[in-house]
Each structure stands twice: as C-alpha cells, then as structure tokens.
Amino acid sequence: MPSVAPPYRGIFFMLLAALGFSIMGGAAKALKESFNAGQLVFWRNSVGLLVLVVSFAQRAPVNAGSKPLRLLFRGLMGTTALYTLLYCIMHLPLGTAMSYNLTSALFIALFSFFLFREYAGSKVLLAVLIGFTGMLLIYKPNIDLPWYYHLAGLISGISSAVAYLTVGKLTQYYDTRVIVASFVVTGVVTPLLFVLVKFLLQLPADELFFIDWRWPSGTEWWWVLLLGTAALFGQYFVTKAYGADKAGIVSAISYANIPFSIIIGMLLGDAFPDAYSFIGILCIISSGVLVSFLKKRKAV
C-alpha cells in the first residue's frame, strides 16, 4: 500500500532547519573576532560543498532538470541572503541579525499572494503576525545603529524570501541536494571571484566583498566545521520544507529559530530572557500551535 505523506511534514522539516540555522548563527558569532563576513561565506559553503560531493558520490541525483536559469537564480539569491546575514551577525547582536533575516516570512506571505495568488487563509496570516510580534518582543531590535546595517538586514530578509519561494518551484524538477548545491557552489565561487578581482586590480580589502584570504587555525577549524555542517543541515531541511507545503504555512514555523537562538546564546554567555522576551517565546509557541491545528483540520 503506498505511503501517505504525514500532514505535519513541512512543519517538522522547518523546525529542523530552524535549529540548524540557529547553530550556524552561534558559530558565526564565535568567529567574528577572527573572520569577516566575506571570508565566512566561503568557509561556510566550502564545508557544505565537501559534504555534498560525498553524498553525490554515494548516490547520484535523479532530476527532471530543464530549469537551469531558475536554479542559478536560487543560488544567487541564497548567496546574497547569506552575505548580508553574516554581515549583520558580525556587527549587530545575534538576535537583531536573526530578526532581520526572519522578516523573510512576511515577504514570503506578500510575494506568495501577489505573484502566485497563494493565500492560506486569514488564520495562517494571523499566525505569521503573532510570530513576528514575538520575535520583536524577544530581541527588541536597536534602531540606534548605522543605517547600512539596517539596509543589510532588510536585504537579507527580502533575498531569503525570494530564494525560499524559488525552492518551492524547483523541487518538482530537481533533487533536493541539487537545489542546495546551487546555493553552495555559488557561495564558494563568488568569494573566490572577489578575491581574484582584488588581487588583479590591487584593490583595498574590505570586510564583505574584496576580502583577504585567510586559513583557519587551531580551534577555529572546529568552529568553521560546525558553521558549515549546521548551515548545510538547515539548508537541506528548509528546501524539504518549502517543497513539502505552502510557503506561507511553513514560513510561520521558521520563527522557531528564536527560542533555539536564545538557548544557544545562553550557552555562549547571554543572560536569561527578561519578561518581554518570555512573552515573545509564548507568542512563537502560539504561532506554531495555531498553524499545526490548521494543518490537522485540513488533513481531516
């Protein structure tokens, strides 16, 4: 008898993705004194590329193909999101950086409706808004910062939303690992191209694009390994999540990144959340419960 896909599959995949991205953020924060954002983009994706090569050697992908430009576009949008996210992590509190990135859920809801006419209902929209409110209560983003930090955060959210929506349209043509590889390969090639341009044109180094080459040393290798494997774990399951369900539904569950990040932050020395943050956590949980209830009722 053929197996039936569980009604919570997309939600479960997104929870795993949120955990992976939270761990990635913690590892990036731990490396901020040694590496800049552009360097971390390269090392984060290099680890992922190595794992994918081994995976492809063990089991070749089965693809229908035929959408190479869309696949390339997904890679470019994902790399843009990673550049800006890591830049924010380097300069903003981890919570604020993640808050900007998680605005992707709101942009997904808007893009899904205006571009694909995908409307999951007012209650799901309410769940997204509750989750966003909880995110603000937990992190209380500081607006007394340079404008370009905020611009980078906004670009992170928008480009993440576009990348995730593209994923949902690619899963019918490509193996999940191939979609992830489009992002990982782009994230390896792009920093190397900037290093080459910097060398040929003798440009001054910056902390984002025209970077200096730097090898990890000592315990930095362990942090880089954790950065790459956690990010690949998150990227794999976020691809599965958006391929398994409507973008507007699974995007609400991406807010689970917040409680995961709080726990990781505490392990790295952050203080226990205050009353506002605790209320925010309850909002996140309420958001997930509401979406799960709607999923169950729809399945019945």
The residue type of 18 is A
Q: Rounded to whole angstroms, how far apart are CA atoms 206 and 197? A: 13
CA 198 to each of CA 40, 195, 206, 214: distance values in angstroms, whole numbers, following the listed order: 17, 5, 10, 14
What pLDDT is recorded for position 223? 93
What pLDDT is recorded for position 226? 93
Answer positive or negative: Cα dihedral of 170, 235, 85, 195. negative
Q: Is the pLDDT of residue 3 over 50?
A: no
Helix (H, G, I), strand (E, B) or coil at 143: coil
Tell me: the pLDDT tens digits for 64-109?
667 788 888 888 988 899 899 999 888 777 777 777 777 776 677 6
Max avg pLDDT among 37-41, 240-244, 282-286: 37-41
pLDDT (average), residues 190-202 = 89
Backbone angles phi, psi at 147, to 5 degrees: -60, -30
pTM, entire model = 0.77
CA-based nearest residue to 95, from 135, 139, 136: 139
Tell me: the pLDDT tens digits for 36-46?
888 899 999 99
User: CB–CB of 101/160 below 8 Å?
Assistant: yes
What pLDDT is recorded for position 252? 67
